[in-house]
Structure 1
Amino acid sequence: MRAFTAAAAGLAAALLLVLTITAIGAPDGTTSPKPLRTTVPAHP
């Protein structure tokens, strides 16, 4: 019974966290039009 109660409490906490993040929403802003460099350019 303790395991069931602990699992239910953990599930409720996770659900509350997800709902809180969903309610806050994504931050406002724009993405950069310039591409990011992910590798070092090769030297000829």
Structure 2
Amino acid sequence: MRALAAAAIGLAAALPLVFTISAVGSPPGETSPKPLLTTVPGPKQ
């Protein structure tokens, strides 16, 4: 029962934060046209 109460309190604290961030929206700007490297480059052939 304590775990359920703790989960409810955590959810009640997290939801207003999520809604506030959603209402504010993302900051203005553009994404980079260059792709990000996701792996370490190997030797040149």
TM-score, normalising length from structure 2? 0.57
TM-score, normalising length from structure 1? 0.58
Runs of 4+ in 1 over 4 A off after TM superposition: none
**In structure 1, how many angstroms separate the alpha carbons of the residues matched to 2:10 and 2:37?**
41
Q: What stretches of structure 1 of length at least 5 have no aligned partner?
A: none
Report the residue type matching 1:42 in the other structure.
P
After superposition, the CA RMSD in angstroms is 2.2
